[in-house]
């Protein structure tokens, strides 16, 4: 995508990333910590020095138990999000393409994403990119903090979609 680069975040990027894209709950730092333990690669899409979106490429297999049982060898791309004002312009597609390139470079040919059963928009995007539904569904529970500091508890059912590269 013209003018957009997707690259691995370094600890030197963190202060700038947090300033330009404040996310409650210390999420950027948590992704970076996972990367420092070699469990994941934290990708951010940039237009110049403006962060547009991000994802985590998780090397050790899917997080959900059903997904992990069915596809233990898959690399899972999770926490994909594009900032609201930058959606619909190919940034998500560019992040997925970068994640797939990383997988190929490491000789990993099976890529997976967990998509909320209600998240038709994201499922449409993945299916267009060649991901196929697997029927492996996991329940995930997580807390997130909104801009007012209110903690929200979410329970979500995610289906694993998989692509062979």
Residues of this chain that interact with ligand COA (CB under 6 A) are 80-82, 87-93, 113, 115, 119, 121-122, 124-125
The alpha carbon of 164 is separated from its chain's Cα centroid by a whole number of angstroms, namely 18
CB of 91 to ligand COA, least distance (A): 4
Judged by beta carbon, residue 15 or residue 65, the one nearer ligand COA is 65
Contact 138, 144 (CB under 8 A): no
Please state the closest distance from residue 67 (CB atom) to ligand COA, in A: 13
Residue closer to ligand COA (CB basis): 35 or 78:
78
Nearer to ligand COA, 107 or 135 (CB): 135
> Count of CB atoms within 10 A of residue 65's CB?
11
- Which CB sits closer to ligand COA, 87 or 108? 87
- d(CA 147, CA 55) in angstroms, rounded, equals 21
Cα angle: 79, vertex 110, 95; to 5 degrees: 40
Residue with tokens 């999000």: 81
CB of 75 to ligand COA, least distance (A): 15
Beta bridge partners of 161: 113, 133
- In the complex with ligand COA, the residue whose CB is nearer, 11 or 124, is 124
Give the shortest CB-95-to-ligand COA separation in angstroms.
7
- H helices of 21-152, in order, are 27-36, 65-70, 91-105, 120-128
Closest approach of ligand COA to the CB of residue 12, in Å: 25
Cβ atoms of residues 57 and 36 within 8 Å: no
């Amino acid at each position: 995508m013209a003018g957009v680069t997707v690259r691995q975040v370094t600890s030197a990027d963190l202060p700038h990333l947090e300033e330009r894209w404040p996310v409650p709950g210390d999420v950027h730092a948590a992704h970076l910590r996972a990367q420092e333990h070699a469990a994941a690669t934290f990708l951010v899409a940039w237009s110049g020095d403006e962060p547009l979106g991000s994802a985590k490429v998780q090397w050790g297999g899917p997080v959900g138990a059903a997904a992990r049982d069915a596809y233990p060898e898959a690399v899972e791309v999770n926490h994909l999000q594009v900032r609201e004002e930058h959606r619909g312009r190919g940034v998500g597609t560019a992040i997925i393409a970068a994640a797939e390139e990383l997988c190929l470079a490491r000789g990993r040919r099976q890529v997976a994403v967990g998509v909320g059963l209600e998240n038709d928009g994201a499922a449409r995007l993945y299916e267009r990119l060649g991901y196929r539904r697997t029927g492996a569904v996991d329940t995930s529970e997580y807390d997130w903090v909104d801009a007012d500091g209110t903690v929200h508890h979410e329970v979500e059912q995610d289906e694993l979609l998989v692509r062979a590269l």
